[in-house]
Amino acid sequence: MVFDFETCNLNLVSKDNKPWQLAFMIYEGDKLIESNDYFIHWDDLKMSDGARKVTGFKDSVYKKKAKPAEKILDHFEKYLYDDDYIKLGHNIFGFDIYIHNIYRKLLGRKTDYSYLKKCIDTLSIAKAIAKDIKINEDDDLLSWQFKLNSIYERGLRLNLGACCKNYDVELDTTKLHDALYDIQKNYQVFRKMLWKIEI
């Protein structure tokens, strides 16, 4: 499962930073099994000007497409908490897992990060490839990725757009920060990463 959230701002602890778009796709190898692009209904969405600009958020589109928050979360979590699925995203350890937790709290659900053991963050993997850091047999994949996620170096540009360029994945930069487009490109990047590193 490849997933991505779009949100009201970048705050990772505020309940005002509601996720308003969630896209997730289910793949088996190169075969797309299921594709979902949800706009999540909230009565009191407070979008920052920056988020509006970056994501191209339009109130009219949101109001037309938004669906009940609980129904969307139930569908998403059917896969998220199923250990038969690997969960994949770009910078999910730095952003999306915390947004998912905000989502749960908004609906009165308890924090539950039990799915992390089956996650792969392509930002962490991109850092490992760029810096030639291999995973050892005795390394825990989750801990290894979190360590990589914490690496920040000037000039080390590995956002999704940069990764598309690095791995020759065709990209329309005007579509970045649309959750569905991002996960489509992210999966293409990931499939090429597998030729560069063994995880």
- Total domains in the chain come to 1
pLDDT of residue 23: 98
The whole domain housing 141 covers 2-193
pLDDT of residue 89: 98
In a domain, 24, yes or no: yes
pLDDT of residue 138: 86
In a domain, 186, yes or no: yes
Amino acid at 59: D
How many residues make up the chain in this entry?
Answer: 199
Q: Each residue of 165-187: pLDDT tens digit?
A: 999 999 999 999 999 999 999 99
Strand order in the sheet with 2-7: 66-68, 31-41, 19-28, 2-7, 87-89, 119-121
Q: Each residue of 89-140: pLDDT tens digit?
A: 999 999 999 999 999 999 999 999 999 999 999 999 999 999 999 998 888 9
Q: Indicate the pTM of the whole model.
A: 0.95
In a domain, 198, yes or no: no
Average pLDDT over every residue of 183-194: 97
CATH number at residue 17: 3.30.420.10
